[in-house]
Amino acid sequence: MQKRVAVFASVLLLGGCSGVNDWMEGKVEYKSAAALPPLEVPPDLTSPARDNRYIVPETGKSTATLSNYEAERRDAKPATASATLLPQPEHMRIERAGAQRWLVVDEAPEKLWPLVREFWQENGFLIKLELPELGVMETEWAESRARLPQGGVRGLLSKALDSFYSTSERDKYRTRLDRAADGKSTEVYISHRGMVEVYTTMRDPQSNAPGDTKWQPREPDPELEAEFLRRLMVRLGAQEEKARTLTASAVAQQESRAQIRKGVNGAEELEVFEPFDRVWRRVGLALDRVGFTVEDRDRQKGIYFVRYADPDTEKDTRGVLTRWFSSDSKVKAEQYRVQISQSGTASQVNVLNKDGAADSSKTAQRILTLLLEQLK
């Protein structure tokens, strides 16, 4: 009996070591969308070559001759990967401010939009929200596989008992595409939101039943955002090593970049020590990270039109899981305006009510505090 236990423990240890190695390599996997596996060729056969050997040119004529066909085929250009209109790797760069990173691509948002959608689907995500007019795309919640050991016994059991092995973590991502100030390139922002399942009661000692759990939000992870920016660069044509180098070499500024102070009218305002263009971009990313619903925006006036449900305004007795995974909330989301204006070499961020008047309520102060945490 002791020999069997020792053998089983050794197998578990080997499987666990394999999983740890995968995690240490920075492997991030998600499971939400079921994708069909690629078609496999049996080992005793060879993969058919793909070329334009059997492509018949469209001549538009009712009759065809061998000489005309050969002449048109000589003039025809072979189909290449450039037909996808991928940006050139040297036309992409990573910019960074504090813990925020974003990708700048020398391409119009309209051309990048379908590529970004395919990128998330290829990484195992379902698309929940698409607002091309606002440049916003959001995924469904997905289960993180980053911390699960995948080898050994875990790999064998997961095929039959996959639902019993949960990481107790869920992630979703919002992508924002903004046209840059030059009107030609696009700024791509990826923001992360996460949930973690925690135990609220201990295991029952008599029945050995597991304790109750509830879901709680966890802090946004800038490193996960950077990882998917790197993957997006590779998807758009950059070499793996170059994308990794550019992502890592985007050095953040360490000094404080923002503070809250009293305005002229007595209401609190957020002062950011950066010009309007950069603050506009960073506030948009901060709103996505915190989870605001951005209904519209007016860059000319420097206004984001948002909805925010303050959890302290009224009590919601439902669990966190229900509130986060459901669009139906007992806490009413109110309309606000987040206004950004240039003030010398710095910028001011104010929270206005739905009518555009200054708002000095506790909810407005809370919004400024949430933005400060992201912008400082």
- Angle of helix 240-248 relative to helix 222-235, nearest 10 degrees, comes to 150
Condensed to tens digits (0 to 9), the pLDDT of residues 89-134 reads 678 998 887 778 899 999 999 999 999 999 999 999 999 999 999 8
pLDDT of res. 84:
47
CA 349 to chain CA centroid, nearest Å:
25
The answer to whether residues 185 and 298 belong to one domain is no
Query: 73 CB contacts (<8 Å, ≥6 apart)?
Result: 57
Q: Is residue 125 part of a domain?
A: yes
pLDDT of res. 235:
93
The answer to whether residues 206 and 99 belong to one domain is yes
The answer to whether residues 239 and 91 belong to one domain is yes
Q: How many domains does the chain have?
A: 2
Q: Is residue 249 part of a domain?
A: yes
Residue 269, domain CATH: 3.30.310.170
Condensed to tens digits (0 to 9), the pLDDT of residues 136-183 reads 999 999 987 544 444 444 444 444 444 444 558 899 999 999 988 788
Q: What is the DSSP string of 40-92?
A: ---TTS-PPP-SSTTPPP----S---HHHHHHHHHHSPPP-GGGG-PPPGGGE
Residue 140, domain CATH: 3.30.530.50
pLDDT of res. 345:
87
Query: Residue 266's domain spans which residues?
Result: 255-376
pLDDT of res. 184:
87
- Among residues 221, 253, 285, which one ends one of the domains? 253
For the four alpha carbons of 139, 140, 146 and 149, in that order, the dihedral sign comes to negative
pLDDT of res. 261:
86
The answer to whether residues 222 and 289 belong to one domain is no
Cα–Cα separations (whole angstroms), residue 252 to 66, 98, 222, 223, 367: 64, 5, 12, 13, 24
The answer to whether residues 95 and 231 belong to one domain is yes
Q: Is residue 105 part of a domain?
A: yes
Q: Is residue 40 part of a domain?
A: no
Q: Is residue 27 part of a domain?
A: no
The answer to whether residues 203 and 271 belong to one domain is no
Rounded Cα distance, 332 and 352, in Å: 17
Q: Is residue 178 part of a domain?
A: yes
pLDDT of res. 77:
47
The answer to whether residues 145 and 283 belong to one domain is no
The answer to whether residues 101 and 230 belong to one domain is yes
The answer to whether residues 111 and 223 belong to one domain is yes
Q: Is residue 363 part of a domain?
A: yes
Rounded (5°) CA angle 10-12-13: 65
343 neighbors 367 (Cβ within 8 angstroms): no
- Among residues 203, 232, 253, which one ends one of the domains? 253
Single-letter residue type at 319: G
The answer to whether residues 174 and 301 belong to one domain is no
Residues of the chain with pLDDT under 70: 1-89, 145-167, 250-256, 264-265, 311-331
The answer to whether residues 211 and 101 belong to one domain is yes
> Structure tokens of 81?
């990967």
Q: Is residue 182 part of a domain?
A: yes
Which pTM was predicted? 0.58
pLDDT of res. 376:
81
The answer to whether residues 138 and 167 belong to one domain is yes
- Among residues 204, 219, 253, which one ends one of the domains? 253
